Amino acid sequence: MNRLSSRIGALVVVACAILSFSASPASAKKTLRVMTYNIHVGVGMDKKLDLQRIADVINRERPDLVGLQEVDRGVKRTEGKDEIAELAAMTRMEYAFAPNLDYQGGKYGVAILSRFPIKRSVHRMFENKREAERRGMLLVEVELDQKPLTFVTTHLDYQFEDGRLFETEQLLRQLTDVKGPLIVVADLNDVPSGSAYQLMRTKFDDAWITSGAKGDGFSYPADKPVKRIDHIFHGKGVRAKKARVIETLASDHVPVVAELEVSHFETQHVAGIDWPRYQDMAVDLMQQYLRIDTSNPPGNEIQATKFFKRIFDQYGIESEVFEYKPGRANIIARLKGNGSKRPIILLNHTDVVTAEPASWEVDPFSAVIRNGYIYGRGALDMKNEGLLHLMTMILLKQEGPPLSRDVIFLGTADEEVNDEGSLWMIANKSDLFKNAEYLLTEGGDNLLHDGAVRIVGVDVAEKAPFWLRVTAGGLPGHGSRPVADSATNRLIRAMSRILDWETPVKLLPAVEKYFRDIAPLQPQPLRSQFANIRESLKDPAFARSLTSQREYNFLLRNTISITMLSGSKQTNVIPNAATCNIDVRLLPGESPEDFLKALTAVIADSTIKIDNVNRFKPPNSSPVDTELFSLIARRTKANHPNAVITTKMLSGYTESQLYRQLGIVAYGWAPIYTTPDDDEGVHGNNERISVKNVREGTREFYEVVRDISRN
């Protein structure tokens, strides 16, 4: 037993074999059940001290290892009991105790119960930043299949966020030398958005998240939990299969239990991915990428493909560049899976819209960092997402698990002008990706409000532009002698009928879900009206008021905007033709032929001609009852507990519509969180992305792609 003394004084670790184990309880058993439980010194919600109740909870769950917080030994308030010794006896487990504090003549601290013999234990105190209760960590080593497994528990400061962060820094330092699988359970007194939790996540996975546990994982207070502060973390070589909270009022917290599969005994770097290193790299590569001028026109995307190719080569990721026209190129890179699932495509366009340097505070291609923001054309549309896609490829290659499906990086040219890049790939190289199950690209819309993520909108549907030219003909003449049914007069009458036409309101499932999801953010009576939007729309007054708002109207119907008008070029000439262009946007599922028929009936003038003047992009949508959608929702919820995750239908369009036609489920989503202020930079001036977003987005995006692609 390796004992290390702390500054405060004696180390007290007790390990006693209270019962005889059957031959070797640990052998061949690779699935572990682990619990973290702040027992509130055994005092339940009814204010009664009752250790048997705590023991009953533990015995019911039969965990192999338990981290306990708030444990007394010889303290007056708990009748001088040696709580951990009593609990060990009642649960027939071994124990270790770490007294962090002298209190009422006794000791108070954290403890561990173990079904396996405890081979070694270590208690370390944390330094304090300021006047606060002293805290510490307790580590035990047990054997699983004759290999060491390390289990740690701690309980962080309850008052100060900077105190918790300081303690976490110390904890991570103390764990750097641990070899083999490592599990850390803790009452962090910190929710997932807190800085201590975030720091833990740079080194560890959270079993609640990786297991895909249902529910919010709230563990405090026990009678009406609203906070997730009790956590089970694990490093590499450990996989979380299940996690849940146990309802009980035996303490003021409820315990969290996870089933963990310990698989990689050879693992050396147990502390998981070195996130700070990858995040530094992400920021650096973001800057490099933004410095490449791919303003379209002319595009010159070949420069972007060279940038990507160089990095893919460096990491041994297979990739190929297709220069379909001088200077215009696409790139595809692939990580191979075992083929048991169909591929996922990470699609990003490498061109950017042009920038007017005079209107910018910085050179649009300098990628300078100011006040925590990286500036550059493309920072939000969409070199940022291209960068996350790149980092995900690197991370999967360097750190990822075996893959069940191919992960395909697809960088395309010319999205901002003609979609030439994607159209060329689909026409010439679709064999490389057309069997994909999923695609992620731009189009999502996530709102940051007061520093917190409020709405995460996944683009699952897009309207289709169906641009029409309406032409009226008639007798020409001199303006001094009016012609009653002149081309202009006919056109104006037709336009007037179009203006009066209220296209039918239709509620698509994705839109219905959107209204339901955002309902809780609305004041009454809107809240209940949105929650039951299908019913509410039956009330004509409500439907009218809703569709009179621009941000909702387009979601509910095909829309028409009259945009270009032309008649005579001279005031005194009645022309023989007059035209008007209208920008029609169709809902997913609508047929342009049907719309044209309806429009013709509204115009009710057989002499008027209607022509389609754009390349029609079929309206399109992807289902939301998919594994990928629920994974995005679950992960996002875990990372941003106050966020509403919902579906979005875009009034505009992205390249998703090209790939949805191939039968691929395409979503516009990335963990990029912007304020309305930030969004003004898209196609505008001073486009920028926060460094924080690049850093955290790297991890959030990777984790979703990893989980949808792992074997």
CB of 442 to Zn ion, least distance (A): 5
- Residues in a beta bridge with 584: 466, 560
CB of 402 to Zn ion, least distance (A): 33
Residue (of 194, 208, 190) closest to 135 by Cα position: 190
Residues 6 or more apart in contact with residue 369 via CB below 8 angstroms = 287, 375, 691
Query: Quick one: 343 or 378, whose CB is closer to Zn ion?
Result: 378
Token pair for residue 683? 């196609």
Per-residue burial over 329-338, b = 16 or more CB atoms within 10 Å of its CB, e = otherwise: bbbbbbbebe
Of the candidate spans 251-259, 374-382, 423-431, 525-533, the one that interacts with Zn ion by CB under 5 A turns out to be: 374-382
Query: Quick one: 272 or 299, whose CB is closer to Zn ion?
Result: 299
Which residues in 239-298 contact Zn ion (CB under 5 A)?
none
Query: Quick one: 193 or 303, whose CB is closer to Zn ion?
Result: 303
CB of 282 to Zn ion, least distance (A): 20
Residue (of 53, 55, 106, 52) closest to 78 by Cα position: 106
Query: Quick one: 293 or 442, whose CB is closer to Zn ion?
Result: 442
Query: Quick one: 590 or 687, whose CB is closer to Zn ion?
Result: 687
Query: Quick one: 218 or 669, whose CB is closer to Zn ion?
Result: 669
Of the candidate spans 78-86, 151-159, 376-384, 592-600, the one that interacts with Zn ion by CB under 5 A turns out to be: 376-384
CB of 393 to Zn ion, least distance (A): 20
Query: Quick one: 172 or 417, whose CB is closer to Zn ion?
Result: 417
CB of 347 to Zn ion, least distance (A): 11
Identity of residue 412: T
Q: Are 308 and 329 in contact (CB under 8 A)?
A: no
Which residues in 400-459 contact Zn ion (CB under 5 A)?
442
Of the candidate spans 159-167, 216-224, 310-318, 382-390, the one that interacts with Zn ion by CB under 5 A turns out to be: 382-390
CA distance 344 to 218: 33
CA distance 337 to 405: 4
Residues 6 or more apart in contact with residue 190 via CB below 8 angstroms = 156, 161, 164, 196, 197, 229
Query: Quick one: 267 or 350, whose CB is closer to Zn ion?
Result: 350
Q: Which helix (H) or strand (E) holds 213?
A: none
CA distance 537 to 535: 5
Query: Quick one: 382 or 650, whose CB is closer to Zn ion?
Result: 382
Q: Widest CA span of the chain, in angstroms?
A: 113
Query: Quick one: 116 or 701, whose CB is closer to Zn ion?
Result: 701
Does the protein bind Zn ion through residue 382 (CB under 5 A)?
Answer: yes
Query: Quick one: 631 or 682, whose CB is closer to Zn ion?
Result: 682
Of the candidate spans 296-304, 381-389, 591-599, 677-685, the one that interacts with Zn ion by CB under 5 A turns out to be: 381-389
Does the protein bind Zn ion through residue 332 (CB under 5 A)?
Answer: no
CB of 187 to Zn ion, least distance (A): 44
CB of 212 to Zn ion, least distance (A): 31
CB of 654 to Zn ion, least distance (A): 7
Per-residue burial over 113-133, b = 16 or more CB atoms within 10 Å of its CB, e = otherwise: bbbbebebbbbbbbeeeeebe
Query: Quick one: 347 or 453, whose CB is closer to Zn ion?
Result: 347
CB of 379 to Zn ion, least distance (A): 12
Residue (of 133, 225, 131, 128) closest to 169 by Cα position: 128
For the packed helices 383-399 and 302-314, what is the interaxial angle rounded to 10 degrees?
20
Q: What letter would DSSP give residue 406? A: -
* DSSP codes of every residue in 278-295: HHHHHHHHHHHHHTS--B
Place of tokens 């304020």: 675
Residue 596 — φ and ψ, nearest 5°? -60, -40
Token pair for residue 55? 């023991």
Query: Quick one: 442 or 678, whose CB is closer to Zn ion?
Result: 442
Query: Quick one: 190 or 442, whose CB is closer to Zn ion?
Result: 442
Q: Are 66 and 57 in contact (CB under 8 A)?
A: no
Query: Quick one: 385 or 700, whose CB is closer to Zn ion?
Result: 385
Query: Quick one: 259 or 687, whose CB is closer to Zn ion?
Result: 687
Of the candidate spans 203-211, 356-364, 373-381, 597-605, the one that interacts with Zn ion by CB under 5 A turns out to be: 373-381
Of the candidate spans 37-45, 79-87, 380-388, 578-586, the one that interacts with Zn ion by CB under 5 A turns out to be: 380-388
- In three-state secondary structure terms, 181 is coil
CA distance 482 to 476: 10
CA distance 111 to 154: 9
CB of 415 to Zn ion, least distance (A): 6
CB of 592 to Zn ion, least distance (A): 25
x/- site string to Zn ion, residues 624 to 663, per CB under 5 A? ----------------------------------------
- First-to-final CA distance of the chain: 39
Identity of residue 464: A
Per-residue burial over 169-203, b = 16 or more CB atoms within 10 Å of its CB, e = otherwise: ebbbebbeebebbbbbbbbbbbbbebebbbbbbbb
Of the candidate spans 8-16, 268-276, 305-313, 378-386, the one that interacts with Zn ion by CB under 5 A turns out to be: 378-386
Of the candidate spans 340-348, 379-387, 454-462, 587-595, the one that interacts with Zn ion by CB under 5 A turns out to be: 379-387
CB of 290 to Zn ion, least distance (A): 14
Place of tokens 């006040």: 371
CB of 484 to Zn ion, least distance (A): 49
- Residues in a beta bridge with 511: none
CA distance 448 to 674: 5
Position of minimal CB gap to Zn ion: 381
Does the protein bind Zn ion through residue 385 (CB under 5 A)?
Answer: no
Q: Residues 381, 406, 445, 655: which binds Zn ion (CB under 5 A)? A: 381
Query: Quick one: 187 or 381, whose CB is closer to Zn ion?
Result: 381
Q: What letter would DSSP give residue 99? A: E
Of the candidate spans 175-183, 334-342, 377-385, 474-482, the one that interacts with Zn ion by CB under 5 A turns out to be: 377-385
Q: Are 255 and 57 in contact (CB under 8 A)?
A: yes
CB of 553 to Zn ion, least distance (A): 24
Q: Are 237 and 264 in contact (CB under 8 A)?
A: yes
CB of 122 to Zn ion, least distance (A): 52
Size of the site for Zn ion (CB under 5 A): 3
Residue (of 182, 126, 176, 119) closest to 150 by Cα position: 182
CB of 382 to Zn ion, least distance (A): 4
CB of 381 to Zn ion, least distance (A): 4
State the residues that interact with Zn ion by CB under 5 A: 381-382, 442
